[in-house]
Chains A and B, each alone.
Chain A
């Protein structure tokens, strides 16, 4: 098992380093660091071990479809795509450069592995439902994955989609919630209380798995379990995460939802993530 898990852990570490470099290079534009770092281990697990993809053939018909519904999570998305081989890691330097393909929210670009444009919250799950429906109609083996934030689940459209996914028995649909308990204005429980979150999904007809969203082994097991050929329900993984995970001064701090890094902060953050062994040149 270690031969699967350890490479993913290493990949997640490299992704965090690249993400910090991207955020720092964005300068005054700033970057969505908090939510990018909370979903980093989820993305490493998906792109490092779970999703069936072929970066050499990005439009492969049988590929698993991944929709980033929390479109601001690009620091984890772009780094995962680069690590998985959809474009050179070197291209991450194009993050938030004028006219380039890596803006602050993703723009559909299948050749680079980006399935859909995103950025407006609450829209991804419906897309995932549509993709899964066609998969079932055509007896395809691909699976439809959608990653959302917990704050994003304030949007009513998420629950419209959740309702329809169970209605259509979409066993080929897997939703993931990056539950970091913070949204733009503060604590989710204070801004708009969504408890009991698990019960909400269950009552909408989903099978729910809760997991530690920073434990690669747990994430890997959770994904492996829910992608098996059984049951009649769509599956949601509620991944308990920490906003800003991996950088002490960002963790659980809503101020780092979208912010800029000073040189000092960048050096400190990079040292914490790399532990003295950085992959960056």
Chain B
């Protein structure tokens, strides 16, 4: 499997999370006889064209039938196949939700479901194509691991670790091609273990997916204003790295969660569920997509509309932080 360096980090960035996922599947396919990759008529749009050419016997197109895709995936996993089933995350998480609940949850089959175009990445396609509730849905299913990588190379690592894990995993792919690089060189990645990217004393930002990069920008801006900020890459939302959250509480006056997902039931919800059970915790600010359907626009427009750019995140944090300090 590839070792991360500044060269391939740039390549993974160019490919974005979707392309990095597809490229990593080629690495796995070359080594794992039992790998099967499934698509619901989105071979090209989920970046699998080259995979199909290289491994025609390992790609199974089920047509536009997501429920059947997960059902067949379950039958194959039951017989010992390692199955990756992928489509846009909105279709995956919602159209085939009950199949995921029964087959990946209840029966715990070794299936990896990979949601492409999560968050607001589908831009002009509109709300039917936005995957903004998927974390809430997936993490409500017992036994599922839920991962949202921060950049292209972390996608590679998440896919490799998911393939090694003998159980169900949901991988959320977000952002666009030319995704900003978080990791320039090799680093240890473990499902369920978050990564502290910078250390501060006033505010702890716990971010996931594309919002890790925006949070790092926000942290720099806040630092300039004299607010010292930690940033944690919470790539695994379930199981949640509660040890890291506990540490973050110990060191900060304000906990902030940032995600390209609905403010209902996502990372913010997961962290809040943990915090409400322990005494004397700092206040939590949940930053994400408000509970409304969007006006359709391109990705950058949508991020700005939802206050999810680095500078907007910094402003929100500063407002809350200053209010707390002056009250």
A residues near B (Cβ < 8 Å) are 108, 115-117, 120, 123, 125-135, 137-138, 144, 156-157, 160-161, 163-164, 167
B 72-83 binary contact with A (CB < 8 Å = 1; else 0): 111111111100
Measured between alpha carbons, how far is A144 from B81 in the docked complex, in Å?
16
For A108, A125, A126, A132, the residue with the greatest tally of chain B CB atoms inside 10 Å of its CB is A126
Q: Chain A interface mostly helix, strand, loop or mixed?
A: helix
Q: Within 8 Å CB of A167, what residues of B?
A: 63
Measured between alpha carbons, how far is A137 from B81 in the docked complex, in Å?
11
**15 extra interface residue pairs, beta carbon distance < 8 Å, beyond A127-B75, A134-B75:** A126-B74, A127-B71, A127-B78, A129-B72, A130-B74, A130-B77, A130-B78, A133-B72, A134-B80, A137-B57, A138-B79, A157-B99, A161-B72, A163-B63, A164-B68
The answer to whether B71 touches A116 (Cβ under 8 A) is no
B 47-70 binary contact with A (CB < 8 Å = 1; else 0): 000000000010010110101101
Q: Within 8 Å CB of A156, what residues of B?
A: 67
Measured between alpha carbons, how far is A168 from B73 in the docked complex, in Å?
14
The answer to whether B68 touches A161 (Cβ under 8 A) is yes
Q: Within 8 Å CB of A125, what residues of B?
A: 71
Which residue of the partner chain B has the closest CB to A167?
B63
Known A161-B71, A164-B68; judge A133-B76 contact (CB<8 A): yes
Q: Please give the distance in Å from B158's CB to the nearest CB on chain A.
A: 25
Report which of A117, A128, A129, A134 forms a contact with B102, defined as CB distance below 8 A.
Answer: A117
Which residue of the partner chain A has the closest CB to B60?
A133
| 14 contacting pairs across A/B (C-beta < 8 A) | A115-B78, A116-B78, A116-B107, A123-B102, A126-B67, A126-B71, A127-B74, A131-B76, A133-B72, A134-B75, A137-B57, A157-B67, A163-B63, A164-B68
Measured between alpha carbons, how far is A163 from B64 in the docked complex, in Å?
11
**Residues B253-294 near A (CB distance < 8 A):** none
The answer to whether B68 touches A160 (Cβ under 8 A) is yes
Measured between alpha carbons, how far is A228 from B75 in the docked complex, in Å?
23
The answer to the question of B98 belonging to the interface, with a C-beta cut-off of 8 Å to chain A, is yes
The answer to the question of B301 belonging to the interface, with a C-beta cut-off of 8 Å to chain A, is no
The answer to whether B65 touches A164 (Cβ under 8 A) is yes
Q: Within 8 Å CB of B187, what residues of A?
A: none
Known A116-B78, A116-B107, A117-B102; judge A130-B71 contact (CB<8 A): yes
The answer to whether B107 touches A117 (Cβ under 8 A) is yes
The answer to the question of B106 belonging to the interface, with a C-beta cut-off of 8 Å to chain A, is yes
Q: Within 8 Å CB of A130, what residues of B?
A: 71-79
The answer to whether A157 touches B76 (Cβ under 8 A) is no
Q: Within 8 Å CB of A138, what residues of B?
A: 79
Q: Within 8 Å CB of B106, what residues of A?
A: 117
Measured between alpha carbons, how far is A156 from B98 in the docked complex, in Å?
13
Known A120-B98, A164-B62; judge A134-B79 contact (CB<8 A): yes
Known A131-B75, A133-B76; judge A163-B65 contact (CB<8 A): yes
For B71, B75, B103, the residue with the greatest tally of chain A CB atoms inside 10 Å of its CB is B75
For B62, B71, B74, B80, the residue with the greatest tally of chain A CB atoms inside 10 Å of its CB is B71
Measured between alpha carbons, how far is A125 from B67 in the docked complex, in Å?
11
Report which of A123, A144, A164 forms a contact with B99, defined as CB distance below 8 A.
Answer: A123
Q: Within 8 Å CB of B71, what residues of A?
A: 123, 125-127, 129-130, 157, 161
Measured between alpha carbons, how far is A132 from B63 in the docked complex, in Å?
18
Q: Within 8 Å CB of A144, what residues of B?
A: 75
Q: Please give the distance in Å from B107's CB to the nearest CB on chain A.
A: 5
Report which of A108, A116, A164 forms a contact with B72, defined as CB distance below 8 A.
Answer: A164
Which residue of the partner chain B has the closest CB to A133?
B76
Measured between alpha carbons, how far is A130 from B74 in the docked complex, in Å?
7
Measured between alpha carbons, how far is A185 from B277 in the docked complex, in Å?
45
Q: Within 8 Å CB of A123, what residues of B?
A: 71, 98-99, 102-103
Which residue of the partner chain A has the closest CB to B72?
A130
